[in-house]
Amino acid sequence: MVFKAALFLAPLSGYTSWPMRMLCREQGAELCYTEMISAAGLLRKAGSARAILKRPEGDRPLIAQIFTSSASEAAQAARVLEDEGFDGIDINMGCPVKKVVGKGAGVALMTDPAKALSLVEAVVRSVDLPVSVKLRAGWDASSMNACECASLFEAVGIDTVVLHPRTRTDMYRGTPRWGELERLARTVKIPVVASGDIRGVEDVERARSLGARAFMVGRGAIGNPWIFRQLLGGGPPSLEEREDVMIRHLDALCSLHGSRLGVLHMRKFLSPYVKGVQGAARFRAQACTIDNPKALEAAVRDFFASQTGKAP
């Protein structure tokens, strides 16, 4: 794939379902990832894993991300995803949460590079799609082995490596270990994608200067799809744009999950969407108690009308 600015939307479990992806694409995200999909869940056709596959036609290019600790499960899941029409497979080796690492998946795979390698090789062999791996810097500060892992995976044919340069112990705290990104970019020939604290043009430029060829935005895009436009030199959203996008996001979440769950999912986005707008805290406190889409839409319209002085 060839990209212009190479600004990607990161996989964010619980957030980056198709509604958020489509809104970010409108603002300049060139490549998106699904939320992480349990390979085991996908193979036993669990509703939660299948739900992540849902997407409209325009939601491309789209990489499906899987997590598992089993090579055979990974290979079978990758084949299912290839048949489903995804544009690439990413293997999650960065997730730090107990539920995932407790089963030997996510960043736990980095503690056993030989096992991780056989899993990656099984996926590469099982599909014709491009395969990438999303790594952390390592398990902890004394075992940072992203370069070692990426070199092994490059040798068996992955196309890209994504690095969130924090360790499992770091979780999401502190400054990313940018030195690890630089070391990785010097170590492998395949493109390195930087993930971690990319919020402004200066962050993209730093990652570029360290050798990254593409840039992933995660938390910075929650309730703020305009971050992509701003990274491309555009301006911040107007109040009208915020209102319009919030209503469209709510509609899309309700069409994906049904009204009740759609509203619950939307609650996670309310605060970031109105951040910095006068009266945001009061709006959020009130809006979080609403459980039907019509009433939530009315609350959003009232809130923005009170900003502009116009009738809703």
Ligand X SMILES: Cc1cc2nc3c(=O)[nH]c(=O)nc-3n(C[C@H](O)[C@H](O)[C@H](O)COP(=O)(O)O)c2cc1C
Residues that bind ligand X (CB under 6 A): 10-14, 35-36, 65, 92, 94-95, 134, 164, 195-198, 217-220
**Angstrom distance (rounded) from CA 123 to CA 130:** 10
* Other beta carbons within 10 Å of 214: 22
**Angstrom distance (rounded) from CA 176 to CA 134:** 15
CB of 36 to ligand X, least distance (A): 3
* 89, β-bridge pairs: 64, 131
Indicate the residue type of 264: L
Kindly state the tokens that stand for 50: 């299948």
- Chain-centroid distance, C-alpha 44: 24
CB of 48 to ligand X, least distance (A): 13
CB of 98 to ligand X, least distance (A): 14
Q: Quick check: 296 and 250 in contact, CB under 8 A?
A: yes
Phi and psi, residue 211, nearest 5°: 115, 0
Looking at beta carbons only, is 65 or 68 nearer to ligand X?
65
Looking at beta carbons only, is 10 or 127 nearer to ligand X?
10
In angstroms, the first-to-last Cα distance of the chain is 44
CB of 218 to ligand X, least distance (A): 3
Contacts of residue 154, defined as CB under 8 A and 6 or more positions apart, other chains included, come to 161, 188, 189, 190
Active site annotation includes 149 = no
- Of 32, 95, 147, 149, which one is the catalytic site residue? 95
CB of 28 to ligand X, least distance (A): 15
Looking at beta carbons only, is 67 or 304 nearer to ligand X?
67
Strands 7-9 and 214-217: parallel
Phi and psi, residue 226, nearest 5°: -70, -10
Looking at beta carbons only, is 134 or 257 nearer to ligand X?
134
Closest residue to ligand X: CB criterion: 218
Looking at beta carbons only, is 25 or 164 nearer to ligand X?
164
Q: Quick check: 219 and 199 in contact, CB under 8 A?
A: no
**Active site residues per annotation:** 95
